[in-house]
Amino acid sequence: MSKIKTIGVVTSGGDAPGMNAAVRAVVRAGIHYGFSILGVRKGYEGLLRGDIVEMSLRSVGDIIHRGGTSLQTARSAEFATAEGVKKAISIAKVFGMDALIVIGGDGSFRGLLDLSKYGLATMGIPGTIDNDIACTEYTIGFDTALNTVQDAIDKIRDTAYSHDRCSVLEVMGRKAGYIALNVGISGGAEAVILPEKEFDIDKDIIKPIMEGRNRGKKHYLVVIAEGVGGAGEVAQYIEEKTDIKSRATILGHIQRGGSPTVYDRVMASRMGAYAVKLLHEGVTNRIIALQKGALVNFDVQEALAMKKTIDKDMIELSKILAM
Ligand code: F6P
């Protein structure tokens, strides 16, 4: 059983829809198990400044449906240094924090590992729209982001149809193409360009568009992951090569906002409560993950060493269905 009495919770890195649901679950499950819960505001930056508040059952009321993170977040340069980590440990001690639950991505988990080396008990919950954390099949925010992009694609298709145009859409994902691949399939794109796979603009974009035109298609969608980028140049190239009027849209931060989907709320609630349950059982320094539908946990170092690969069958499917 655990010696931990007080748990801190922080959201770190890029915000993701569902982070609020995860914080709510940590606070309410934590209080259920008898822990005191501290909310660290503005990511690791807030930890360094002692921007820490006592959380109660009511302080997480009315947030489950909200996008963003009510604790706010930041990317901290100071925390990335050895001095920053030591300072964070000393501030945690000042507030009597025995453990810290971090909701964020890989970068945030590296910070977690540093903190655990100084004896702070830690727990990581995967929260990023990119779904790019290797140890887990799912990260909080991914489903909401996919639905936001899909909504944009449906709107873009209306105007592409009306003008017989080609739309080139650039979506987020940092160095990963999970958002692009999924919306490429759900949005019926003629081509999906991913950072995980080398591409040839003539073979992978121009050819399927021209073949589609020969079969009677009049409007087209190309999805490009931000890890590849260059939507504007691609649209220009398509227009020059095919005479099809083309427009580029870079969706940007709209993909990070919005009310979380049911899936994200439930997943965040499950992951948040599971992280607290593990601490209650005396298990520390783990990253929560979803594997084959079940929640599991990995040692932080082990989790960070894992490599994520993109599903080749999904890439193949996106091509077959683009006909
Ligand atoms: O990790 C989430 C994400 O939205 C990425 O898809 C994107 O590359 C990055 O964050 C953008 O970061 P920022 O909001 O700091 O510009």
Q: Is residue 322 part of a domain?
A: no
Q: Which of 12, 75, 130 to mutate to test the pocket of ligand 1 (most atoms within 8 A of CB)?
A: 130
Is 106 part of the annotated catalytic residue set? no
Mean pLDDT on 267-293: 98
The verdict on the CB of residue 130 being under 6 Å from ligand 1 is yes
pLDDT computed for residue 132 by the predictor: 98
Question: Do 119 and 196 sit in the same domain of this protein?
Answer: no
- pLDDT value of residue 240: 98
Does residue 253 surpass a pLDDT of 90?
yes
Q: 198 lies in which domain range?
A: 143-257
- Number of domains into which the chain is organized: 2
Q: Please give the number of the atom of ligand 1 that sits closest to the Cα of 172.
A: 6
pLDDT (0 to 100) of residue 102: 98
The token pair that represents 209 in the structure block: 């568009």
Same domain membership, residue 85 and residue 234: no
How would you classify the pairing of strands 286-291 and 294-299? antiparallel
Rounded Cα–Cα distance for residues 122 and 275 (Å): 9
Q: Does residue 172 line the site of ligand 1, with CB under 6 A?
A: yes
* Assigned domain for 291 exists: yes
pLDDT given at position 1: 64
Distance 129 CA to ligand 1 centre (A): 9
State mean pLDDT over 287-292.
98
Q: Is residue 283 part of a domain?
A: yes
Q: What average pLDDT score do residues 214-223 get?
A: 97
Residue 129 and residue 270 in one domain: yes
Q: What is the DSSP letter of 255?
A: G
- Distance (Å, whole) CA 213 – CA 244: 10
Angle, helix 231-242 to helix 207-214, in steps of 10 degrees? 50
Ligand 1 atom showing the smallest separation from residue 105 Cα: 1
pLDDT (0 to 100) of residue 323: 85
User: Ligand 1 centroid to 14 CA: how many Å?
Assistant: 6
Residue 246's pLDDT is 98
Residue 187: pLDDT band with limits 50, 70, 90? very high
Q: Which is catalytic among the residues 15, 130, 143, 264?
A: 130
- Give a yes or no: residue 177 inside a domain: yes
Cα 301 to ligand 1 centre (Å): 23
State how far the Cα of 41 lies from the Cα of 213, in Å rounded to an integer: 53
Pair 112, 155 in one domain: no
> Is residue 128 situated within a structural domain?
yes
Ligand 1 in contact with 139 (CB < 6 A)? no
Residue 154 has pLDDT above 80, yes or no: yes
Do 234 and 264 lie in a common domain? no
- 19 within ligand 1 shell (Cβ under 6 A): no
Separation of CA 98 and ligand 1 centre (Å): 30
Task: Using the predicted structure, report yes or no on whether residue 175 has a pLDDT greater than 80.
Answer: yes
Report CA(240)–ligand 1 centroid distance (Å). Answer: 31
Please check whether residues 147 and 207 belong to one and the same domain.
yes
39 and 107 belong to one structural domain: yes
CB of 41 sitting under 6 A from ligand 1: no
- Predicted local confidence at residue 320, as pLDDT: 95
Segment 237-257 mean pLDDT = 98
d(CA 77, CA 88): 13
311 within a domain of the structure (yes/no):
no
Residue 293, exposed/middle/buried by CB under 10 A (0-12, 13-18, 19+)? exposed
Residue with tokens 């568009």: 209
Q: Averaged over 136-152, what is the pLDDT?
A: 98
Q: Is the pLDDT of residue 2 over 90?
A: no
CATH of the domain at 284: 3.40.50.450
Q: What is the DSSP letter of 202?
A: I
Quote the percentage of the chain above a pLDDT of 70.
Answer: 100
Averaged pLDDT of the chain = 97
Among candidates 102, 106, 97, 144, which has minimal Cα distance to 124? 102
| Beta strands 286-291; 121-126: pairing state | parallel
Q: Is the pLDDT of residue 51 over 70?
A: yes
Indicate if 135 and 155 belong to the same structural domain.
Answer: no
Verify that 125 and 268 share a domain, yes or no.
Answer: yes
125 and 157 in a common domain: no
The CATH number that applies at residue 201 is 3.40.50.460
Last residue in a domain, options 235, 257, 279: 257
**What percent of the chain is modeled with pLDDT above 90?**
98
pLDDT tens, 81-97? 999 999 999 999 999 99
Same domain membership, residue 252 and residue 288: no
What does the pLDDT look like over 263-279, one tens digit per residue?
999 999 999 999 999 99
